[in-house]
Structure 1
């Protein structure tokens, strides 16, 4: 197994080292939000500065080269070089005195072509960025200056070993089946999708294909769900000419096949608890969080409601010198994670001449006190990533938000059991009593959406009209208190107090929900395992990712995955039965299996996948990835906004 495993967690850094680092010496570097986040998880800002960059700045209309000494610029972006992205680059170049400009985009030529012309190219594009290079020269004011535009697949982020995210594609979300009374034929082909979605899918495919080439593997592609099918077909076409000998099984799954996994408050992984409780690291970051470091510094402790001191820069989770701690955050249950972090902390103190007080029962509060014992030590000790990670976990688990997650999980189990045992739904009652239970309108809608993805129409109860009326009333109440859920705020905008707009938004929600039932409720993959003894045992939710991986590893003959064959020859073989000795590929055939969730994946789902491998004692490497680290608030925004209009 050792010889056949792949180091997917190292490939992202290698890509930055090969494509970016050699170009930044003596340059001013401009990054958009997507690339700033990718850099953050790949050795960070200091790497660019240590490699000779003069400065690193946000790509915006308000930035420019500040002096004539800044003659060289490197722009690193994750978008097609059209529209606002190209306009921002133009604004910076025109306001500066650059003589040499390099643009590195993680959007491949095919996606750039799609963004420009709205058509999927049928062959490899050469000189796709030539027009952009000419525009750069024009903006620089001298056609003899130097410009270069290249594509590099920089979207990958390794959160922990074998757990990867591509946050550049956090807005890529699967489409749902259209209502039965509409013409849904428009969603049958990739070319019929909205241009921005076509472009994003082409970009995702290009990045995945490039990463497979860097890993020196040829993927056997399988899919479950309509959007994953589109991606699988494009990826197979992209990698058809590959002559790589090593194989990798890539299983693409639509998030909408199991929304419960992204919305549940169970949080089997500590990582999910941390990212749901602590605030995002900074603007544009979707994975990392802010960690209040004031207790380790001379600055006074923050009394701000956010818990972050204004005078102390926040810490974070991403640290290359402490990857083992991230492994425990993702793969361990809370008690085990605290024990492992405590062990690492004691070892860190011992190596730096600090003997920690290790008495008492291990709790998040005690772990936080143990971290605070490092206060007053050398700067090198305080800058260690482990202290920030441990303090972040301790603060998150002792935060009131962690207790609220437990309360939400209790309400979730009660709702689910009631729907299974009684065939009804107490969502109306939950809406009316949400304040006394400490729940917001968004929390209730999360529970309703989760419930619908598991039990279908039972989630609505006997009176759908009454439920709609209660939600409309709750929307008005939330708007008055400025507590409107993010997805409703985006849908309603300035029309939040207009009755027709609110009614239309609520109707839209109830139009989207049935699509969840039609995707998740398949004969084979039952997300909800209902016990035969009605009411005596709770219904059990079994995540789809866990089921799929178990079926793959157990060589289940009824496995419901679409295999994307390699070209016309394979299709003829399959269609007419020629060469019967050539068996259809099975996902288990390869030594490496990558499960990739289109629409976002949780750390808990990654943990459950790794647990399946461990319990089956099968010698295979399993990698879990997704387009985002899924969080309920963002999942609601993507689910409802994507289908709106």
Structure 2
């Protein structure tokens, strides 16, 4: 599959949305907003909307409706048009003055038939027809208060958020996670009249809950649309029990079977369970600047794969702490800035040291093009040096506009390098290396005993000590690396001591972060 083909798949989908958006209020859910963010950016959609009276809004229960001067609405949704989603649609429309509503869903009509329990044989007879969408169009007119008003429901496969030419994300499926061995008893309890599963290896689609199976089918729908755009018939490979179910569903998906009969090209698709590399997800062996940016900078609200970059340093505001929430944050996605996109791809594909040097090179070249008074310095690149180059743009509005994307990536680099978590990264790495060196000689009980002194309450912790979240990350790393091990009296005692210490730390925290709130 070519990178250009994947990018054109996403851009073609958004072009269909842009064509409907003129002079409309546009409501987007979080996943579609993230796809837009990485594909063409919100400014491109605002440009298509045109005029200050029409703009973008979040699709959520309390969303503001449209006034009498806003007769058209476009809803761009990543999910099935069913249940709570339809309720929110109805409520927004009823408190508005719309005369024309367009609803775009990223899920195909075939999956909507499945969600409405239409048998496969009956669904096959409906090929070319869209009764579910047609029924919703009638409902839209009813909610608008006039059956002569105009309503459209259409499928546009907004599956991907293309973060780079060879890296595309699927925001709508960020929470789709493989089942764990402990989940086998939950599957068995949901099917008491069927043969009990002894392990995940015996799992197939019939063992899954209807909700999970429907979520898989939504993913399969998007992947089928991508393969259709690329003109390929795929050969699927799976590593892991959950991936095997997804691969089988794609192979048996009726629209995919029809596509494969005429597709000229070929492609290999490999599905891999996330749980097979939990060590890589929590380890600190990666020498990549972007990995550190995403780990230490605050998450961009509503996004799964972008961060907030504090832009106050480039404004005339003096009191940074007081005004950091006044200035809109920057981010890593720079879909409309060619120079910034080039730097972003370099950051993704190079090691930390080379990436920092690339940031310096791009800043120096941008300052030179703007004839800014830059003072060259050689040797090791420091956050202070990069900040000196960035500050050159501060009072030059034209230069700021020309290189806004580049400056956001530059500030993200500075804020990452200066962040206390980046310094702690080396502490994690040192502990992980020590563990790997001693793993053959030490028992699990000994390893946990080494961890125990690191568990400190907030009153005793310094910036160099581990927080409760970080301790859990270390525990996941330890158990993932060691794998299977014998359980004896020493291990039970060591685990009890760690549990007791963690419980004490959790209970003494003045405020638990969101992740720990979910766990507890």
What's the TM-score, normalizing by structure 1? 0.70
Give the deviation of 1:475 after TM superposition.
Answer: 2.5
1:119–1:191 Cα contact (<8 Å) kept: no
1:495-534 equivalent positions in 2, closer than 5 A: none
Give the deviation of 1:471 after TM superposition.
Answer: 1.7
1:118–1:195 Cα contact (<8 Å) kept: no
2:367–2:392 Cα contact (<8 Å) kept: no
Instruction: Output one character per residue of 1:102-142: Cα deviation in whole Å (capped at 9) or x when no partner.
Output: 11111223443444449888955642323322221221111
Aligned to 1:299, what secondary structure does the other structure show? coil
1:279-294 equivalent positions in 2, closer than 5 A: 279-282=298-301, 284-294=302-312
Task: Say if 1:9 and 1:460 are closer, same or farther in 2 by CA, change over 3 A.
Answer: farther
1:267-416 equivalent positions in 2, closer than 5 A: 267-282=286-301, 284-303=302-321, 309-320=324-335, 321=337, 322-360=340-378, 361-379=380-398, 381-382=400-401, 384-416=404-436
Aligned counterpart, 1:551: none
Task: Say if 1:179 and 1:29 are closer, same or farther in 2 by CA, change over 3 A.
Answer: closer
Whether 2:143 is the aligned partner of 1:142: answer no
Larger helix share, 1 or 2: 2
> Could you list the runs of 5+ residues in structure 1 that have no partner in the other structure?
493-645
Aligned to 1:247, what secondary structure does the other structure show? strand
Q: State the superposition RMSD in angstroms.
A: 2.6
Task: Say if 1:60 and 1:180 are closer, same or farther in 2 by CA, change over 3 A.
Answer: closer
1:422-571 equivalent positions in 2, closer than 5 A: 422-424=442-444, 425-435=446-456, 438-458=465-485, 462-482=490-510, 484=512, 486-492=514-520
Whether 2:271 is the aligned partner of 1:256: answer no
Give the deviation of 1:185 after TM superposition.
Answer: 6.1
Whether 2:249 is the aligned partner of 1:234: answer yes
Give the deviation of 1:332 after TM superposition.
Answer: 0.8
Whole-angstrom distance in 1 between the partners of 2:138 and 2:486: 57
Aligned to 1:463, what secondary structure does the other structure show? helix
Whether 2:45 is the aligned partner of 1:48: answer yes
Whole-angstrom distance in 2 between the partners of 1:180 and 1:199: 19
Whether 2:111 is the aligned partner of 1:79: answer no
Whole-angstrom distance in 2 between the partners of 1:13 and 1:114: 25
Aligned to 1:288, what secondary structure does the other structure show? coil
Aligned to 1:347, what secondary structure does the other structure show? helix
Whole-angstrom distance in 1 between the partners of 2:21 and 2:69: 15
Q: Greater CA deviation, 183-192 or 343-352?
A: 183-192
Q: 2:31 aligns with which of 26, 29, 34?
A: 34
Aligned counterpart, 2:265: 246
Give the deviation of 1:490 after TM superposition.
Answer: 1.8
What's the TM-score, normalizing by structure 2? 0.86
Give the deviation of 1:260 after TM superposition.
Answer: 0.9
Whole-angstrom distance in 2 between the partners of 1:467 and 1:186: 26
Instruction: Output one character per residue of 1:337-390: Cα deviation in whole Å (capped at 9) or x when no partner.
Output: 011121122221222222422214312332122211211112453452111111
Aligned counterpart, 2:161: 157
Q: Which 4+ stretches in 1 moved above 6 angstroms?
A: 118-122, 179-182
Aligned to 1:154, what secondary structure does the other structure show? coil
Aligned to 1:129, what secondary structure does the other structure show? helix
1:431–1:441 Cα contact (<8 Å) kept: no
Larger RCO, structure (CA 8 Å, separation 6 or more): 1
Aligned to 2:439, what secondary structure does the other structure show? helix
Whether 2:135 is the aligned partner of 1:107: answer no
Aligned to 2:140, what secondary structure does the other structure show? helix
Whether 2:87 is the aligned partner of 1:90: answer no
1:12–1:42 Cα contact (<8 Å) kept: no
Aligned counterpart, 2:11: 14
> Could you list the runs of 5+ residues in structure 2 that have no partner in the other structure?
189-195
Give the deviation of 1:325 after TM superposition.
Answer: 1.3
Give the deviation of 1:397 after TM superposition.
Answer: 1.6
Whole-angstrom distance in 2 between the partners of 1:334 and 1:449: 25
Aligned to 1:303, what secondary structure does the other structure show? helix
Whole-angstrom distance in 2 between the partners of 1:439 and 1:107: 43
